[in-house]
Structure 1
Amino acid sequence: MRRILGRCMVFAWAISATLPAAAQLADQLPPELEEVGIEEHLDAKLPLNLKFRDENGTVVTLGDYFDGERPVILTLNYYKCPMLCGLQLNGRLDGRMDLDWTPGQEFEMVTVSINPLETPALATDKKQNYMKRFGRPSAAKGWHFLTGSEPEIRQLASTVGFGYTYDRETGEYAHAAAIFLITPDGRIARYLYGIEYPQRRLRLALMEASAGEIGTTIDQLILYCYHYDPSSRRYSPVAMNIMRLGGGATVLVLGLTLGGYWLREARRRKKSDRGTPAT
């Protein structure tokens, strides 16, 4: 019973730590949760030379997943997490199932375990489970499940501002729920919080991370009209950009209309001049 209560307390804090009002609750935190939370380090460069093992047991570096062209979604979880990690990964999966982009094509995904005792075999099991649910075999080459040693994990977590702690009583990790959008050259572009990632928000974040290099023309226009609001942690309309876009569209329509009118008038006059007898 005590373990269940402990899990509930950790889960409740992990969710609240992702909310804008979380700072107001800091004075109410139990000591064991003071290190748990997210501190944004936008534009920080990831240590791409850090070494991990992928789900096959192969030694890789973080930089292996950055090709300079596609953005990367990074998450820090652990594979035996009984509650929050599963909800977060499920939410991330649901958001991508609605998204018409696929890991390994438009972007890469990297999930790193924060538990240094977890093994590549466990990472393989987790990956296979999610690949079955995802239903896109080609995504297997683009979603990577890594394990590593304590120093490498801590350095990566520190870089992205991911605070977590190990609860010896429950044998579990307390941590917040967030995903990190990384640019193709390894810089932190955006943080998305919570355990659900709506398709539109995920798409905009990926486009922002890729500097607009993926997506259709319509996607580019949508990104132009929206910006990320740190206070609400959502993409919100930018009134000035919408007005500019609307004004530009109005000028374009007006120009086409007047152009068509002038062209018809010119043709009519030319035809009229041909039909007028010479004097």
Structure 2
Amino acid sequence: MIKTSLYHVTALWHGNFRAMALMLVAMFGFSGVAVAAYGNVTKDSVVDPGILKIEEKAFLGEKINYDFVLQDENGADFELGSLLGKPLILAFSYYTCDGACSVINKNLNETLKGVERWEMGQDYNVLTVSFDQHDTPATLVDFLQKAGFKDGVPSGWTMTTMREKENIVKLTGSMGFKFFWSPRDALFLHPNVYIMLSPKGRVTRYLYGGTISPVDMELAITKAMGEKIAAANVIDFVVGACYSYNYEDGKYTVNIPLFIAAGALIFGLLLIAGSFSYMKFWRVKT
């Protein structure tokens, strides 16, 4: 059994902390992280929050495996792929969490209530998946109460556990989502993020829980729909093109370069049209 703590690793290899921390994670295995609660990591372990950061550029545009089998609160099995065909908002949580996870799901529910253009279940789906291998449909039901879903989640939203526990590593890893058990705090450390998937299952955006607004979510859904543009909603995609995601602020902002380019194009076309009209006028006059 490996008894060396992450704290000791930092003392020995201070200059390469992140690399060594990731090596230790690989040694323990993501699927064994929850087991750390039972003594695999000493209580003086320290985890650098930096290694929780999602390397977005490495995963944006990547297509996930949608053959994973999930279980809902009733224990019914279904494949992740059954929720695709339209944009999917995915949130990773764990159901024995006393704080952040219930808040993440509550906030998402409130945010989606402010999305006016698209309707959950009809235009997009929402999925909450537990990354804790010890979660079951029973702990999921308890979590629904804590997260404020006493009457169940809205239509189009599914909360699940993983049927095959070893697939937790594959699913979270395919999107760059990292999590660690902290014995000192007796909880999982993980990013509070909503992951937007396109109708074909490609990662299109990471939206962080503390900053997301209904407008940001609506734009993210609109842009995720880009794989299947229909004549009826071309205007929505034109509107979506007018905004770009600002990684520094974590929000969508007006795409100023696009407006500058469009303005320059219009000015150029007007100039050309004006020149032809002027030349035609003088030819007629002479």
Give the TM-score, by structure 1 length: 0.68
- The answer to whether 1:156 aligns with 2:171 is yes
Name the CA shift for 1:127/1:201 in 2 (closer, same or farther; >3 Å).
same
Shift, 1:248, TM fit: 8.4
Please give the per-residue CA displacement for 1:16-61, whole angstroms capped at 9, x wherever unaligned. xxxxxxxxxx79x973346433222101111111112112211112
Letter in 1 for 2:80: L
Aligned to 1:140: 154
Shift, 1:143, TM fit: 0.4
Runs of 5+ consecutive residues of structure 1 not aligned to the other structure = 1-25, 252-279
Runs of 5+ consecutive residues of structure 2 not aligned to the other structure = 1-17, 22-44, 269-286
Describe how 1:134-213 pairs up with structure 2 within 5 A: 140-148=154-162, 149-211=164-226, 213=229
Describe how 1:122-141 pairs up with structure 2 within 5 A: 122-127=139-144, 130-131=148-149, 140-141=154-155
Aligned to 1:80: 96
Name the CA shift for 1:217/1:44 in 2 (closer, same or farther; >3 Å).
closer
1: CA distance, partners of 2:212 / 2:167: 27
2: CA distance, partners of 1:249 / 1:87: 47
Shift, 1:97, TM fit: 1.2
2: CA distance, partners of 1:185 / 1:175: 26
Aligned to 2:78: 60
1: CA distance, partners of 2:119 / 2:105: 16
Instruction: Name which one, 1 or 2, has greater alpha-carbon Rg.
Output: 1
Identity rate of aligned residues, in percent? 26
Work out the number of aligned pairs and report it. 222
Moved more, 106-115 or 121-130: 121-130
Give the TM-score, by structure 2 length: 0.67
Partner-residue secondary structure (3-state), 1:163: coil
Name the CA shift for 1:127/1:219 in 2 (closer, same or farther; >3 Å).
farther
- Greater relative contact order (Cα 8 A, min sep 6): structure 1 or 2? 1
Counterpart selection for 1:95 from 111, 131, 152 = 111
Name the CA shift for 1:246/1:145 in 2 (closer, same or farther; >3 Å).
same
2: CA distance, partners of 1:97 / 1:194: 15
Partner-residue secondary structure (3-state), 2:172: helix
2: CA distance, partners of 1:126 / 1:31: 28
1: CA distance, partners of 2:193 / 2:173: 14
